[in-house]
C-alpha cells in the first residue's frame, strides 16, 4: 500500500510538471500521519522506499514545505527515497496546546544559566524523527538538517549511529556559548493578536533579513512564500516552544565529538542569523567531517546555491 501511495506521488509530479514550472510553491503532495512518542507526526515521502533514505529535518518554526520541492525531486532523481516531515508544534503535526510558552522569566533564567523548564527539548524532537524512521521500517538513513533541524540531526547521528549513516548539517550550530550572535531580530514578542496580513508581513521582513547578499527574493515574493506557510499552519505558540527547547537543551560540544559517521557541514558566509563561525565550530568538533562555506549565502537555500548543496548531499549519501 505504501509503495502504491508513493507511486501516486510520483504520478502527481508528472501531472503537475507544467504547473510547478510556473507556481511550484502551490503544490501540496499527499501527506501521511504516524503515531510517534504519543504525538501525531505529519510526513511526506517520495521515491522508492526500497532505495536508500534521506530524511530532511526542518528548522525553527518551519514546515515540511520549506524543504524546496525541486530539492526533493533532485534527490529522488538521484535514486534516493526522501522523507520530509513537520516537527512537533509545527505544520500538520501535533500541537502541544496544553503546554505554556516562554515568557520574560525564561530570558532571565537563560542569562543566569538556570534550567528553563521547557516542555520538551531537542532530544525529544530527535526521538520523534527516529521514531518516524522506525514507523516506516527504515533500517538506515542519511539525515539532513537545516538550522534547528541541523541540531536535531546532530543528536540523531550521535544517539543512533547504527541507524544514521551520514549527517549533513546546514546553517546550524554547536550552540557553544563563545560563538557570535546573529543580528536578525526574530521578533519573539507575543504575536497572537496579529492579523493575517500583519503576521505575513512580519515573517516576510525576517525572510528578507536572512536572504544573504544573494537577495534572491523581493518583498512581494517573500510575502507570497510566507502567506502559504501562514495558510497551511499558523501557530506562533509552537515557534515559541521550539525556541524554548533550543535554549534549554544546552550546547552539543561533547555530543558532536562523539559522532563518527561521515558528516558534511554547510554554512553561508553571509548568514546573519547564525554567523558562519557556528558552522566552522561544528565541523571542528566532528572528526570525520567536511566544511563547505558558501560566499553570499544567508540563512536560506537560494536557487543560485541549491544545485551545489544538492550535489554535496548526494555525494556524502553515496559514500
Task: Please tell me the predicted confidence (pLDDT) of residue 38.
Answer: 97
* Rg from Cα positions in the chain: 18
Contact yes or no for 277/182 (Cβ under 8 A): no
Q: Under DSSP, is residue 46 helix (H, G, I), strand (E, B) or coil?
A: strand
What is d(CA 292, CA 279) in angstroms, rounded to the nearest whole number? 9
Q: Hey, what's the cell of 162?
A: 547504527
10-residue block means of pLDDT along the chain (319 residues)? Answer: 42 35 60 98 97 98 95 97 98 96 81 84 98 98 98 98 98 97 74 84 84 73 89 94 96 98 97 96 97 95 94 96
Quick one: how far is CA 97 from the chain centroid? 22
What is d(CA 260, CA 124) in angstroms, rounded to the nearest whole number? 22
Task: Please tell me the predicted confidence (pLDDT) of residue 189.
Answer: 59
pTM score of the predicted model: 0.89
Kindly report, residue by residue over 274-289, the tens digit of the pLDDT: 999 999 999 999 998 9
What is d(CA 126, CA 17) in angstroms, rounded to the nearest whole number? 34
Amino acid at each position: 500500500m505504501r509503495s502504491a501511495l508513493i507511486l501516486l506521488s510520483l504520478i502527481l509530479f508528472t501531472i503537475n510538471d507544467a504547473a510547478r514550472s510556473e507556481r511550484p510553491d502551490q503544490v501540496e503532495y499527499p501527506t501521511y500521519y504516524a503515531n510517534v512518542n504519543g504525538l501525531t507526526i505529519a510526513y511526506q515521502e517520495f521515491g522508492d522506499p526500497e532505495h536508500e533514505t534521506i530524511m530532511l529535518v526542518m528548522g525553527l518554526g518551519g514546515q515540511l514545505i520549506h524543504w524546496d520541492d525541486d530539492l526533493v525531486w533532485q534527490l529522488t532523481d538521484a535514486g534516493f527515497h526522501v522523507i520530509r516531515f513537520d516537527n512537533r508544534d509545527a505544520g500538520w503535526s501535533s500541537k502541544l496546546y496544553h503546554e505554556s510558552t516562554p515568557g520574560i522569566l525564561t530570558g532571565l533564567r537563560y542569562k543566569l544559566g538556570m534550567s528553563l523548564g521547557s516542555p520538551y527539548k531537542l532530544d525529544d524532537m530527535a526521538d520523534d524523527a527516529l521514531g518516524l524512521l522506525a514507523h516506516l521500517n527504515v533500517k538506515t538513513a542519511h539525515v539532513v538538517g537545516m538550522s534547528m533541524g541541523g541540531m536535531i540531526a546532530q543528536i540523531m547521528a550521535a544517539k543512533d549511529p547504527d541507524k544514521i549513516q551520514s549527517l549533513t548539517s546546514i546553517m546550524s550550530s554547536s550552540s557553544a556559548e563563545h560563538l557570535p550572535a546573529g543580528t536578525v531580530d526574530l521578533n519573539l514578542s507575543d504575536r497572537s493578536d496579529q492579523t493575517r496580513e500583519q503576521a505575513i508581513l512580519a515573517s516576510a521582513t525576517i525572510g528578507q533579513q536572512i536572504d544573504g547578499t544573494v537577495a534572491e527574493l523581493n518583498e512581494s515574493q517573500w510575502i507570497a512564500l510566507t502567506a502559504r506557510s501562514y495558510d497551511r499552519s499558523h501557530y506562533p505558540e509552537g515557534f515559541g516552544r521550539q525556541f524554548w527547547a533550543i535554549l534549554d537543551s544546552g550546547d552539543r560540544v561533547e555530543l558532536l565529538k562523539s559522532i563518527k559517521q561521515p558528516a558534511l557541514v554547510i554554512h553561508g558566509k553571509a548568514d546573519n542569523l547564525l554567523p558562519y563561525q557556528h558552522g566552522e565550530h561544528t565541523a571542528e568538533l566532528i572528526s570525520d567531517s567536511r566544511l563547505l562555506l558558501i560566499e553570499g549565502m544567508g540563512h536560506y537555500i537560494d536557487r543560485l546555491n541549491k544545485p551545489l548543496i544538492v550535489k554535496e548531499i548526494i555525494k556524502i549519501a553515496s559514500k
